[in-house]
Amino acid sequence: MALELESITVRYGQTAAVSDVSLSVGDGEVVALLGPSGCGKSTLLRTIAGLEKPSSGFVRWDSSDLAGVPVHRRGFGLVFQDGQLFPHRSVAGNVAFGLRMHRVDREERDKKVLSLLELVGLEGYADRRVTQLSGGEQQRVALARALAPSPRLLLLDEPLSALDRALREQLAVDLARLLREAQTTALVVTHDHDEAFTLADRVAIMSRGRIVQVGPPAEVWSSPVDVETAKFLGCNKFVPGSFVGLPVGRVGLRATALRVDGAGPLEGTVLERVHRRDHVRLLVEIDGEEYEAVGPMSEIGDHVRLEIDLDGVARIG
Amino acid sequence: MAALLPLAFLGLFFAWPVLAILSLGLREGGVLTALFDGETWELVGFTLGQAAASTVVAVLAGLPVAFVLARCRLRGLGVVRAAVMVPFVLPTVVVGLAFRTFWPDGGVLSIVLANAFFNVAVVARTVGGLWAHTDRRAEDAARALGASRPRAFLSVVLPALAPAIGSAAAVVFLFCATSFGVVLVLGGSRYRTLETEIYLRTVELFDLSGAAALSLLQFAAVLAVLVLGALARRRRETALSLRGREELARRPSGGEWYVVFAALAVVVALLTPVVGLITRSLSTRDGWSFAGYAALATRGDRGTLAVTGFDAALNSVRTAFDATLVALVVGVFSAVVLVGLRRSGGRIAEVLDTALMLPLGVSAVTVGFGYLVTMDALPGDFRTSPLLVPLAQALVVTPLIVRMVLPVLRAVDERLRQAAATLGASPLRVWREVDLPLVGRSLAAAAGFGYVVALGEFGATSFLARPDAPTLPVVIARLMSRPGELNSQMAYASCALLMVVTVGCVLLIERLRVPSSGEF
């Protein structure tokens, strides 16, 4: 394992922002720390970077303890939510910064800067002032800057949250490709599950300072460990397993769990309908309970038959 | 631990001499007598009253100038910038005399105006410095939400500037409360402040215990103001986004022109005494003449001075340089330590912050006198050391440098430093690559500011300068105090010379402040 966290606890006075967190990230793996704001995920990231001191526990890299290693010797790259580019340097100056710190000679530096700018899709931006860039461009520069010294681990703190939605989705795809191609070992902190699932090989769910579940995105998505996690992952209705044909346990239903289908096993009465771009959202009453469902744009009567779509169902535990 | 260097400097060259003088006074037991004397409280009242009035005038006059310096793109701004700076560095005695040509009998109004005259620069510089770097978009947002221009100013700009206005006002108040030369010249024995009273009792009445008692009182008042200021500064941790001035400055439009005209009126008012002085230095009873300037090569009428005027000027330049160097090292170090401490949330930060302001508010007379009493105890013959004057001046300059550098240093986003660190920059390298370029302008300005203040320092220097190595302000005071047309002519010429050097420095600083971009 490249990065290993063992029982990390970070305290601010009496309150523990992170408690007893253990996690490992393999070589070339991308792990997402996913959780609501205030769950301690950024604190954990800062602790790994060396910006916070853990009150107990160990941060290890290739089995060696990093406790005595200061930030600038860890060789970890960090990308902040809002870029934090050096305002007094040009785009190229920002990207070249880490290379200069590592005494890369000028010629090689220039070459690397250009190839990185190309990688993040900013050819020809080298001499621009960073203050003249848009948010998305700034974030690309921040990424190129962090990647330039070839960090052994890339830490991304909500790298896309400050951007507007369309840009965010585009950049998430770009970023995922970039991380895969460069086989970067990375830890991404985010509160957006789309972002986490797009980027990560594994997802670690954090809640109130603890990691409650770790696993591949598909696994976490389909079987969240508890109701709280299931809610965070979009489930808004909880029913016994028998509802979807499982013998035991509870399941969480997302808005897309029930579909209008003439041959479906369930029968219900439509209470409300909301028209979306290419489908209709329904509020349906089944056996005296209210459920959300989706249907086609075509005319839907007051009585509908519904099919269960297992992609919209999450088994708890 | 890093807080120890500035504290040691303050302890050795400030606290010790001052405490020595105070204990001298306390031993004689004059404090109680002074405290129960109704006259003492009249002095306190007048001191604080005139200081408050002067501060209000200085802030009101300084704000439009700050606006113009920070936000307007106009021709001749460099001239305005320099013109505002000039009064601040003029020797106090000279300004006193200049104002006396307008108010021959002196009086309260002239004292208030003269004190404000000095300090408009403090307000314009401190507030302008912050203003030049604050994001204009908040203001634009308020305007877009329907706020009129004055409303946007009151509800958005003013609160953002409040930390700078607050610290400028605190500094100005302290300057005015302990202002010496001006009050002495314009107030005479009719309008006395604690500072002039301390001087009068020390030098003329040899009433050391009474003087020490008043020093103690003044010290307490200063401390109270500083603590209040520190409390007010607690709220200053507003995160500013620093931006380059070029992006923010634009041609004034609409109602902004009124502000520009107000600023111009202030500048004209500031230049009037200056022009008066230059005119005076060139005019004699027999008409226009360069006699005063020619006399600078001599030792004055009938050997008033031990050295020539030019030697004194040279000595001034050297002394001020040394003082600035010391102050810059101590000041920048303190500012860095303060930012670091404030980050980790320390009580020590507030103590150090306040301690660094103390020298501003303590009577220079007390400090100078204290040096004479205590420096005997140091190894070597420190009392006659040529380092004594630069150290005393550095003491006066250091708080200014801290005040000018600190707000900008604080406004640097901590995450920029962290980004640099994760990219492999050691703490020292972070300071060089991130802090220094971002505060570079303020630092250069602070150094220049400090230099000219050291050049004009009079209170402590007058006590400490050896007769064979006086500075220009000391020479001026000496020439003024002696009769003879040539002497006073030479004094005015010296003033003009000091002004030329000052303006030269200020222009040089402006030239140095090139916006940095690209690598190195």
Residue A250 pairs in a beta bridge with: A240
Cα separation, A62 vs A49, in Å, equals 15
CB contact (8 A) between residue A72 and residue B424:
yes
Average pLDDT of the residues in A140-168:
89
CB neighbours (10 Å) of residue B136? 15
Q: pLDDT tens digits, residue range B387-421?
A: 888 888 888 888 888 877 887 788 788 889 899 99
The pLDDT value given to residue B441:
74
- Residue B424 C-alpha, separation from nearest chain A C-alpha, in angstroms: 4
Predicted confidence band of residue B346 (pLDDT cuts 50, 70, 90): low
Cα separation, A274 vs A295, in Å, equals 10
Residues from chain A that touch B429, judged by Cβ atoms under 8 A, are 72, 101
The pLDDT value given to residue A47:
94
Average pLDDT of the residues in A222-230:
93
Task: Return mean pLDDT, chain B.
Answer: 79
The pLDDT value given to residue A64:
92
Percent of chain B exceeding pLDDT 90 equals 7
The pLDDT value given to residue A185:
94
Phi and psi, residue A190, nearest 5°: -155, 160
Cα separation, B173 vs B83, in Å, equals 22
Q: What is the dihedral of CA A72, A75, A81, A85, to 10 degrees?
A: 60
Average pLDDT of the residues in A6-15:
90
Contact status, residue A59 vs residue A51, Cβ threshold 8 Å: no
Residue B366 has pLDDT above 60, yes or no: yes
For chain A, domains (ranges, CATH) are 3-222 (3.40.50.300), 228-315 (2.40.50.140)
- Residue B231 C-alpha, separation from nearest chain A C-alpha, in angstroms: 23
Contact status, residue B399 vs residue B369, Cβ threshold 8 Å: no
CB contact (8 A) between residue B418 and residue A97:
no
Task: Write the single-letter amino acid at A246.
Answer: L
| Structure tokens, A174 | 């770009």
Average pLDDT of the residues in B277-297:
78
Q: What is the dihedral of CA B107, B113, B115, B119, to 10 degrees?
A: 180
Residues from chain B that touch A76, judged by Cβ atoms under 8 A, are 422
> Of A92-96, A115-119, B338-342, where does mean pLDDT reach its minimum?
B338-342
Residue from A71, A78, A158 to probe the interface with B (highest B Cβ count within 10 Å):
A71
- Residue A210 C-alpha, separation from nearest chain B C-alpha, in angstroms: 25
- Residue A90 C-alpha, separation from nearest chain B C-alpha, in angstroms: 5
User: Cα-atom radius of gyration of chain A, to the nearest Å?
Assistant: 23
The pLDDT value given to residue A311:
84
Residue A213 pairs in a beta bridge with: A205
Chain B residues with at least one Cβ partner in A under 8 Å? 242-244, 247, 413, 415-416, 418-427, 429-430, 433-434, 437-438, 516-519
Indicate the DSSP class of residue B492. Answer: H
The pLDDT value given to residue B517:
27
Pick B441 or A80 by higher pLDDT: A80
Q: pLDDT tens digits, residue range B420-474?
A: 999 999 988 998 898 888 888 778 878 887 888 888 887 788 778 887 888 888 8
Cα separation, B214 vs B220, in Å, equals 10
Can you state the angle between helices B436-456 and B77-89, rounded to 10 degrees? Answer: 50
Average pLDDT of the residues in A46-72:
92
- Can you say whether the dihedral through the CA atoms of A126, A128, A129, A133 is positive or negative? negative
The pLDDT value given to residue B235:
53
The pLDDT value given to residue B520:
23
The pLDDT value given to residue B232:
65
The pLDDT value given to residue B516:
33
The pLDDT value given to residue B44:
86
Residues from chain A that touch B343, judged by Cβ atoms under 8 A, are none
A130: which residues sit within 8 A by CB, 6+ positions away?
A: A83, A85, A86, A87, A89, A90, A91, A94, A138, A141
Structure-token match 């720390």, residue found = A33
Which ipTM value was assigned to this complex? 0.84
CB contact (8 A) between residue A87 and residue B242:
yes
Can you state the angle between helices B472-481 and B485-512, rounded to 10 degrees? Answer: 160
CB contact (8 A) between residue A98 and residue B516:
no
A218: which residues sit within 8 A by CB, 6+ positions away?
A: none
CB contact (8 A) between residue A87 and residue B517:
no
CA B329 to chain centre: 18
Half-sphere exposure of B41 (CA within 13 A, CB side): 6
Q: pLDDT tens digits, residue range B61-116?
A: 999 998 888 878 877 777 787 778 778 767 676 787 778 767 767 788 889 999 99
Average pLDDT of the residues in A141-165:
90
Average pLDDT of the residues in B486-505:
79
Residue B127 has pLDDT above 60, yes or no: yes
> Of A14-28, A53-67, B428-442, where does mean pLDDT reach its minimum?
B428-442
Pick A41 or B379 by higher pLDDT: A41
Predicted confidence band of residue B11 (pLDDT cuts 50, 70, 90): confident
Indicate the DSSP class of residue A72. Answer: G
Highest-confidence segment of B104-113, B300-309, B507-516? B104-113
Residue B185 has pLDDT above 80, yes or no: no
Residues from chain B that touch A75, judged by Cβ atoms under 8 A, are 424
Residue B302 has pLDDT above 50, yes or no: yes
Query: Where do the H-state alpha helices sit in chain A?
Result: 41-49, 91-101, 106-119, 135-147, 165-181, 193-199, 217-222, 227-232
CB contact (8 A) between residue B437 and residue A88:
yes
Pick B343 or A223 by higher pLDDT: A223
Percent of chain A exceeding pLDDT 90 equals 59
Query: First vs last Cα of chain B: how many Å apart?
Result: 32
A280-286 and A250-253 strand pairing: unpaired
Indicate the DSSP class of residue B189. Answer: T
Average pLDDT of the residues in B189-193:
83
Q: pLDDT tens digits, residue range B240-281?
A: 445 554 555 677 777 778 888 888 888 888 888 888 878 877
The pLDDT value given to residue B514:
40
Percent of chain B exceeding pLDDT 70 equals 86
The pLDDT value given to residue B247:
55
Cα separation, A93 vs A174, in Å, equals 23
Average pLDDT of the residues in A268-274:
90
Residue B25 has pLDDT above 90, yes or no: no
Element (H, E) at A282: strand A280-286
